[in-house]
Structure 1
Amino acid sequence: MKKFFGGFVFAFNGIMYTFKTQLNFRVHCFVAVVLVALCFYLELSIAEWLWIIAAMAMVLIAELANTAIETLVDLVSPEYNIKAGLVKDVAAALVLIAALMALAIGILILLPKIFHAS
């Protein structure tokens, strides 16, 4: 059981490392907090909440994966290497696509509610 709970410590360390070292992760966390407040204000349905939560999780998971990939690439290829750069570019694209999909979900769910609430 101790080993099981130790895994949570390692996971938390990974989140904290990413939060401390990656500006984009901090920005996404801030946006998530603001978004949650907005969603409470707009009184989203359960289904809408599920989509918003999934979108936020998708972006944060993508940022964590990007950080892990970049850190590993820096470890195995400390000098400039074109293929290492491509790996980092693809990892960044992962985050970009997740963020664009989350934006689309947010627009589809929130814009009608914002205009209806006005």
Structure 2
Amino acid sequence: MKRFLKSFLYALKGLAYAFKTQLNFKIHCFSGVFVIALGFYLNLSIIEWLWISLAIALVLVLELINTAIEVLVDLVSPQQQPKAGAIKDISAAAVLISALLALGIGLLIFVPKLI
């Protein structure tokens, strides 16, 4: 049980690292909080909350994976290498695609309620 509880501490430590060191993670977190507040204000349905929650979680998870990949690449390839750069760019592209999807979901849900 002690190991199980420690795993939560390690996860929280990872979240704290990402929040302290990654501007984009902070932006995504604050955007998520704003969207959640707007969702409460507009009284979203359960289905709308499911889509919004999925979109927020997907962006945050991919941002964390991107951060882990960047840290790992920096560790194994301290000098600039074209392939190391490509790895970082590809993982950043995954975050971008998820953020665009989240934006699309948000627009589909919020725009009709705001018009």
TM-score range, shorter chain: over 0.9
Aligned to 2:108, the other structure's residue is in SS state helix
Partner of 2:16: 16
Q: Any gaps of 5 or more consecutive residues in structure 2?
A: none
Deviation at 1:108, TM superposition (A): 0.6
1:55 CA drift (Å): 0.2
- Structure 1 runs (4+) deviating above 3 angstroms are none
Distance in structure 2 (CA, Å) of the matches to 1:26 and 1:11: 17
Which amino acid is 1:20 matched to? K
Distance 1:76 1:34 in 2: 37
TM-score, normalising length: structure 1: 0.96
Residue 81 (1) aligns with residue 81 (2):
yes
Residue 109 of structure 1 and its aligned partner are, at CA, apart by 0.7
CA RMSD of aligned residues (A): 0.4
The reply to whether residue 46 of structure 1 matches residue 55 of structure 2 is: no
Question: In percent, how many aligned pairs have the same letter?
Answer: 60
Alignment of 1:94-109 (within 5 A): 94-109=94-109
Residues 1:113 and 2:107 are matched in the alignment: no
1:102 offset after TM fit, Å? 0.3
What CA distance in whole angstroms lies between the structure 2 residues aligned with 1:67 and 1:6? Answer: 22
SS of the equivalent of 2:39 reads helix
| Aligned twin of 2:61 | 61
Normalised TM-score (structure 2): 0.99
Distance in structure 1 (CA, Å) of the matches to 2:96 and 2:32: 16
- Partner Cα distance (2:83, 2:63) in 1: 20
